[in-house]
Amino acid sequence: MKKKSGKRSYAGLWIILVAAVALEATTCIQYFYSRSTIRAEAEQRAKSELRRAELEINVVTAQMESAVKMLAMLAERYVDTPDSIFAVTRAVVGCLDNVSSLGIAYVPDYFPQYGHWFEVCSSRELMDGERKIYTRQIGGADHDYFQTEWFHNGLTIDTCCWSEPYYDELGARQMVVSCSYPIRNAKGEIVAVALVDLSLEYLKTISEYLQVYANSYVSITSSRGLEIVPSPDTAAGRKYHIFDEEIDATGWHISIIIPEEVIYEDLKRIGLIVLALMLIGLGVLVFIIYRSGRDMVRLIKSTAQNERMEGELHIARAVQMAMLPKFQKENNKSTSLPCDIYGLVNPAKEVGGDLYDFYVKENTLFFCVGDVSGKGVPSSFVMATTRSLFRAISAHERDVATIVSQMNDAMADMNELNMFVTFFLGKLDLKTGVLHYCNAGHNPSVLVKQGSRCDRLPTIPNLPLGIVSGYAYTPQTITLQNDDKLFLYTDGLTEAENRDKSLYGGERMMEEIVRIENSVEADKRTARHLVEAMLESVNCFVDGAEQSDDLTMLAVHYLKQSDNKVDDVSMRSTLVMSNDIQQIPTLAEWIESLGVPSALKMNINLALEEVVANVMLYAYPHDKSGKVLIEAEKEESRITFVVSDSGIPFDPTKQPPVDTTLGLEDRPIGGLGIHLVRQIMDQVQYRREGDKNILTLIKKI
């Protein structure tokens, strides 16, 4: 018995070790790949914002340079008439709305009657409640412009030149950078310098909208390294990612500085969840082995390896099937989306390399079908990676060709097994029927028109994903009419073999689609009916022959709806906020996107702001960050909000009713917030699940 027990223990330990290593390896691969993808996405966002800021600054600096050249040109006409210079500067500043201050400074003693210094400055200043042009001579011993950088640049550099930042005490009366340009007399001698001032306050406004993350910083430095827009001091020991761009016209550098933990905050949280689930799974596995091992020593010795492999394949199949979108059946239509769509995957082995996926975002349906080269476990991993890339990239990019190109580049860079994926990506506007699509070497889709006409979708094949990076994919566009269907499939359909090794074929497929569409009434021609009927057709054809390839089908049935009808469709939306009270304005924008009736919008916004603000202020300790999750489900007759947090337990529904008949001096402090929520909402319910506060608010519409 001791010998058997020892062998059983060793077998159990081996199973636990193998499972732990497999789980750990899978987790590490997913973690590092996700980290790389998130890093690339953060870099893309930062560089996009930097390029936009660079373009705006270049436009402004070009305007400043044109202004100073125009000022110099006018000044050269009246170079020896000082009284005219006042009119010139005044006229130029009056014509240029974006210039706050400009001037003309002459070399020493050029006009003896005006003294050693002569600098004419015109600026816009607030006088008597109005912005007026103020022109004066500001040169003097207290303003020795001969020592300034901009004057020296104008005398020595025969082109537009930008100065380092400085405080202009007599002209613009603020921090500026100046663009200077030489002024010559009739002999070609430089006798004066024209300058135009650019306020640093304008540059600070540009940096305000470059906050690609909540806690990122922005810095603008001159060509010599002086800070034009300084960034906050960084914390010692904290890692940062810095993205910068050079502004060609001035040589300045604009940088976005993002703390590393901000970029990977969500990934870290998910990693902890996965680690916890992995430990729980290992604990369950230990318990099962201990309980079953006592009576199954011989069986474990002879079949442990086979059972483990089969079990892992079953788990892989379950995981793979769980990754596919779910459908609800009601009158043969999918009710989980504001459109009629249905699909299925039938792997040739336990796991396969076919995939389909779809989701709706902002009234746009993103969908795809793919076929990984080969079958079995390697293909299933590539399939999972392809789906993850589709979800991750399409969440931030709307152009179908760009999405496919980025997926191709990512897969080509890690394609050590030389596997490729044929892929079809579509983006359908559910209001207009406009379909943007891109085909990466996949089978041409079938377009089923009204009247059951069946045609191939016009398709540019392009290259499959993963073969070569940098390939330029070509997108296409068509417009679907009401009641049109799009039928997508993999070659497991057309290449299905019967016992005589005959193929199902493309012509048979087209004929079967027409037959199926004509065999039922118009209101029963749903996406589910088409896919299930095609599956039955191919099963009848193969007549029990072994399946040779994975089979996937996806049908998209476009039913155009009016704006009012779209609002009645059941929908769900989610908003995640940090416990930062400054994020409250985001809540109103989110409620606006839900399509709440105008008569209820203000009251619902008041109630939700009260609930969310209380969570932000009191649920978490003042030095601890936390999240507030708001989920909305809009149905035909009501809208339901679920607000959850992981803060201190608190049941607002147990607060006593507020006696509104009492005066302010007699009424106790607090309680008016939940009173307001009760008055606005039809139902308010609270429950505590684990470490979460969950408050449900229901409003009839």
**Structural domains of the chain ordered from first start:** 1-295 (3.30.450.20), 320-561 (3.60.40.10), 570-700 (3.30.565.10)
Quick one: pLDDT at residue 310? 61
Least confident of 15-19, 483-487, 604-608: 15-19
Residue in 376, 370, 321, 371 with CA at minimum distance from that of residue 348:
376
DSSP conformation letters of 196-207: EEEEHHHHHHHH
407: pLDDT strictly greater than 90: yes
31's tokens: 């973690």
Quick one: pLDDT at residue 316? 58
Mean pLDDT (the chain) is: 81
Burial of 57 (0-12, 13-18, 19+ CB in 10 A): buried
Q: pLDDT, tens digit, for every residue of 282-318? A: 788 777 877 776 666 666 666 666 666 565 556 656 6
Q: pLDDT, tens digit, for every residue of 357-398? A: 998 888 899 999 999 987 777 888 888 889 889 998 998 888
The answer to whether 78 and 92 are in contact (CB under 8 A) is no
331: pLDDT strictly greater than 50: no
The answer to whether 407 and 386 are in contact (CB under 8 A) is yes
Q: What are phi and psi of 118, to 5 degrees?
A: -145, 105
Residues 195, 181: Cα–Cα separation, whole Å: 6
Q: pLDDT, tens digit, for every residue of 89-101? A: 888 887 777 777 8
Residues 161, 411: Cα–Cα separation, whole Å: 47
Quick one: pLDDT at residue 567? 41
Quick one: pLDDT at residue 589? 81
DSSP conformation letters of 84-122: HHHHHHHHHHHH-TT--EEEEEEPTTSSGGG-S--EEEE
Give the single-character DSSP code of 212.
Answer: S
Quick one: pLDDT at residue 67? 86
Residues 442, 404: Cα–Cα separation, whole Å: 13
Instruction: Tell how far CA 547 is from the center of its chain.
Output: 40
335: pLDDT strictly greater than 90: no
Quick one: pLDDT at residue 617? 86
Q: pLDDT, tens digit, for every residue of 227-242? A: 777 666 666 667 777 7
Tell me the average pLDDT across 540-555.
89
Quick one: pLDDT at residue 562? 53
The confidence band for 333, taking pLDDT boundaries of 50, 70 and 90, is very low
Residue in 247, 249, 240 with CA at minimum distance from that of residue 220:
247
Q: Which residues of 386-424 are buried (b: 16+ CB within 10 A; e: fewer)?
A: bbbbbebbbeeeeebbebbbbbbbbbbeebeeebbbbbb
The confidence band for 494, taking pLDDT boundaries of 50, 70 and 90, is very high
The answer to whether 582 and 681 are in contact (CB under 8 A) is no
Residues 627, 647: Cα–Cα separation, whole Å: 9
Q: pLDDT, tens digit, for every residue of 651-692? A: 888 877 766 555 545 545 445 778 888 888 999 999 998 889
What are the angstrom distances between the C-alpha of 658 and each of 608, 653, 685, 695?
19, 12, 18, 20
Q: pLDDT, tens digit, for every residue of 610-640? A: 999 888 888 888 778 888 999 988 887 889 9
For residue 300, the one-letter residue type is I
Percent of the chain surpassing pLDDT 70: 84
Instruction: Tell how far CA 451 is from the center of its chain.
Output: 40
Residue in 590, 584, 690, 586 with CA at minimum distance from that of residue 647:
690
Quick one: pLDDT at residue 662? 54
Q: pLDDT, tens digit, for every residue of 428-461? A: 998 889 999 999 999 999 999 876 689 999 999 8
The confidence band for 477, taking pLDDT boundaries of 50, 70 and 90, is very high
Side by side, the strands of the sheet bearing 227-229 are 227-229, 217-221, 253-259, 240-246
Quick one: pLDDT at residue 410? 92
